[in-house]
Amino acid sequence: MALVAPPPSWASRDPGAALGAAGGGGGGGGGPLQVGPPPPMPPAHLTPSATPEDITCLVPAGSVLTSRDPLPPSTTPGSQANSSQSGSSQTDKSPNIECVVCGDKSSGKHYGQFTCEGCKSFFKRSVRRNLTYSCRGTRNCPIDQHHRNQCQFCRLKKCLKMGMRREGMHSVQRGRVPPSQPSLPGLPGQFALTNGDAVACASLNGHSYLSSYISLLLRAEPYPTSRYGQCMQPNNIMGIDNICELAARLLFSAVEWARNIPFFPDLQVTDQVALLRLVWSELFVLNASQCSMPLHVAPLLAAAGLHASPMAADRVVAFMDHIRIFQEQVEKLKALHVDSAEYSCLKAIVLFTTDACGLSDVAHIESLQEKSQCALEEYCRTQYPNQPTRFGKLLLRLPSLRTVSSQVIEQLFFVRLVGKTPIETLIRDMLLSGNSFNWPYISTM
């Protein structure tokens, strides 16, 4: 994805002021360096490629299940096996119950909810054909008996919101949850992605919504670890320009990832901007660790322009201390051998922070952070049962991320690219412009 040159009207500032640095964007030298291997991958059933049929992929980009949607009722493999081919249970039929989607007369329970034949067929067709729709309005069209055919996007969105589940379509034929569904073997509980602002790890059998959430976080990565691998092979040598280009990718990746994860697009735009402007440097450090970014001092100094613009000795010492802190945080994360699923959960915990100023719904954002924390806890417990302290060790790394100065990251990696343009300005424009944002420095991967 190509990254658009900053408009000349952008406000300027000296990114080195907060550091006491005198360097500009110059800096030539810096020797080549070796890069390490990529981090471990999560279990195959949680990788994005292993979850092509997740129910939320039916909703076009920008529309995801919200945390205020009702939690779908659980279904056990036994009950699924006794269901009919249409995903409905003959014993659930009731002429007095309305369709939860459009209000028409329900013909029975289909895919977990009481619906009419029309909505059942619409949902079945949409899922089996993996159809995507668009809304000509504001994605809030009325869906009732008389208007249900006017907007397919909003109709499918309401089907999902009311708890209709795609897994019933295949499991009723096999008597089990299909293996392509992202689930954690032996998971004792089910992670609630929905149902208000409460965090729930309820003891429900069947499909794991915890693993679905993690899978969606992984799928949101615009540049998966395998794509980074093209330039991050163990024997590959990178120069200063390569490092700066990689840094630009990591920054863009953080914004793109946030735009596509569950719940974040549903927040007020002002809240989205506030959150990303506050935590972009923490997300950058996590991404740098995840892709084994090279952090030797010599190229960092060259990238910062210290060779071209000498500074006072005391400022050099302070600047070197900041570099050391950055390196230490990345190395400590690497030492834990964090896998991709854990990185995604950690980034979600960092992103959904209530420390940003001016948030419109602090309680809701706090609940999203708790959901992400709950997902990480369950993941560590099920995937690393022999490491009971792993979850705690991962969480303890997060406060330390804020010891890395965002101004240091700007000076090290972005002065050469954007000059005095504030990174917060780039973050805002990336978020608001979406896929139309281009950055000439980043070539297509």
pLDDT digits (tens, 9 = 90+) for 136-163: 888 889 999 888 888 888 898 888 888 8
CA–CA distance from 130 to each of 56, 124, 166, 180 (Å)?
Answer: 10, 10, 11, 15
- Cα 406 to the center of its chain, rounded Å: 21
In a shared domain, residues 218 and 149: no
- For residue 202, list its beta bridge partners: 190
Q: Residue 81: inside a domain, yes or no?
A: no
Q: Of the segments 8-17, 196-205, 272-281, which one has the largest average pLDDT value?
A: 272-281
Sign of CA dihedral 221, 225, 230, 234: positive
In a shared domain, residues 280 and 379: yes
d(CA 232, CA 291) in angstroms, rounded, equals 7
d(CA 246, CA 253) in angstroms, rounded, equals 10
In a shared domain, residues 302 and 377: yes
Q: Residue 54: inside a domain, yes or no?
A: no
Query: What is the number of domains present in the chain?
Result: 2
Q: Residue 180: inside a domain, yes or no?
A: no
CA–CA distance from 109 to each of 15, 31, 95, 122, 173 (Å)?
Answer: 60, 66, 11, 14, 16
* Residue 347 domain boundaries: 212-224+236-433
What rounded mean pLDDT belongs to the chain? 68
Residue type, position 243, single letter: I
Structural tokens at position 72 = 């779908």
For the ranges 128-137, 263-272, 361-370, 393-402, the lowest mean pLDDT is seen at 128-137
In a shared domain, residues 217 and 153: no
* Cβ–Cβ under 8 Å, residues 287 and 253: yes
Burial of 443 (0-12, 13-18, 19+ CB in 10 A): exposed
In a shared domain, residues 154 and 282: no
CA nearest neighbour of 35 among 297, 404, 342, 296:
296
Alpha helix (H) ranges present in 352-422? 362-383, 390-401, 406-409, 415-418
d(CA 62, CA 431) in angstroms, rounded, equals 12
Q: Residue 184: inside a domain, yes or no?
A: no
In a shared domain, residues 123 and 216: no
Task: Give the pLDDT score at 105.
Answer: 87
- Cα 224 to the center of its chain, rounded Å: 12
Task: Give the pLDDT score at 139.
Answer: 83
In a shared domain, residues 248 and 391: yes
In a shared domain, residues 248 and 321: yes
Alpha-carbon torsion angle 109, 115, 118, 120, nearest 10: -50
Q: Residue 136: inside a domain, yes or no?
A: yes
Decide which of 332 and 222 is more confident.
Answer: 332
In a shared domain, residues 146 and 220: no
d(CA 40, CA 290) in angstroms, rounded, equals 9
Q: Residue 62: inside a domain, yes or no?
A: no
d(CA 299, CA 28) in angstroms, rounded, equals 9
Instruction: Identify the DSSP state of 109.
Output: E
* Cβ–Cβ under 8 Å, residues 345 and 191: no
Using one digit for the tens of pLDDT, what is the confidence trace for 347-370?
Answer: 999 999 999 999 998 999 999 999
In a shared domain, residues 394 and 290: yes
Using one digit for the tens of pLDDT, what is the confidence trace for 311-351?
Answer: 677 777 777 788 888 888 888 999 999 998 999 999 999 99
Task: Give the pLDDT score at 311.
Answer: 65
Burial of 185 (0-12, 13-18, 19+ CB in 10 A): exposed
CATH number reported for the structural domain that contains residue 132 in this entry: 3.30.50.10
Alpha helix (H) ranges present in 305-389? 313-335, 340-351, 362-383
Stretch (H or E) spanning 191: strand 190-191
Q: Number of helices (H) and strands (E), helices first, in the chain?
A: 16, 7
CATH number reported for the structural domain that contains residue 264 in this entry: 1.10.565.10
d(CA 200, CA 225) in angstroms, rounded, equals 31
In a shared domain, residues 140 and 267: no
Q: Residue 44: inside a domain, yes or no?
A: no
Q: Exposed e or buried b for every residue in 200-214, given b needs 16+ CB within 10 A?
A: bbeebbbbbbbbbbb
Q: Residue 311: inside a domain, yes or no?
A: yes
CA–CA distance from 384 to each of 45, 191, 347, 376 (Å)?
Answer: 15, 18, 19, 11
Q: Is the pLDDT of residue 85 over 50?
A: no
CA–CA distance from 331 to each of 35, 285, 345, 396, 397 (Å)?
Answer: 13, 10, 19, 14, 11
Q: Is the pLDDT of residue 197 over 90?
A: no
Q: 130, 146, 162: which is the final residue of a domain?
A: 162
Band of residue 438 on the pLDDT scale cut at 50, 70, 90: low
In a shared domain, residues 142 and 258: no
Structure-token match 């705690």, residue found: 392
